[in-house]
């Protein structure tokens, strides 16, 4: 793994794992949800949403999120997480999948574009299933 030189708060030279540093800055806190529905909120930016339910879960992707919004979703329970876009928004997944693959996987959600503020284009990537 690549190392990046850094100076700690005491002025000492250190090296950190680049991947570890990048992941820590991408997802820095958690939002735990245990219901059967959840709509992403702007305050979820940069968070991992851990959804734990034994039943199926519907995750709603809003149409008005800004370009660059990003978060991760973890299927923490046995219930698969299915995502659905609000009217006006679109979702793109390389495989056309609409659900998490299985328990304990991560899926990443990013708004790639939102030209008029109500047409978010969501990119979904990670461990997904049809």
Nearest to 45 by CA among 58, 20, 28, 24: 28
* Domain 28-129: CATH architecture, name and number where available: Sandwich (2.60)
For residue range 102-117, what is the model confidence (pLDDT) as tens digits?
Answer: 999 999 999 999 988 9
Nearest to 111 by CA among 74, 75, 63: 63
Check residue 18 and report its DSSP letter.
H
Output Rg (C-alpha) for the chain, integer angstroms.
Answer: 17
Higher pLDDT, 71 or 28: 71
C-alpha 33: how far from chain center: 14
In the predicted structure, residue 125 carries a pLDDT above the cut 70: yes
Higher pLDDT, 25 or 106: 106
Element (H, E) at 32: strand 29-33
The DSSP code sequence of 55-104 is S-EEEEE-S-PPTT-EEEEEE-SSSPEEEEEPTT-EEEETT---EE-STT
């Amino acid at each position: 793994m690549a190392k990046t030189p850094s100076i700690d708060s005491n002025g000492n030279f250190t090296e950190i794992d680049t991947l570890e540093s990048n992941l820590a800055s991408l997802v820095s806190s958690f939002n735990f949800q245990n219901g059967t529905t959840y709509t992403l909120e702007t305050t979820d930016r940069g968070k991992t949403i851990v959804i734990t339910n034994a039943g199926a879960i519907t995750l709603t992707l809003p149409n008005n999120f800004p370009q660059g919004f990003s978060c991760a979703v973890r299927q923490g329970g046995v219930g698969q997480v299915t995502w659905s876009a609000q009217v006006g928004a679109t979702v793109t997944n390389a495989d056309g999948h609409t659900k998490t693959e299985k328990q304990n996987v991560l899926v990443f959600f990013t708004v790639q574009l939102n030209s008029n503020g109500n047409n978010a284009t969501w990119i979904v990537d990670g461990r997904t299933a049809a």
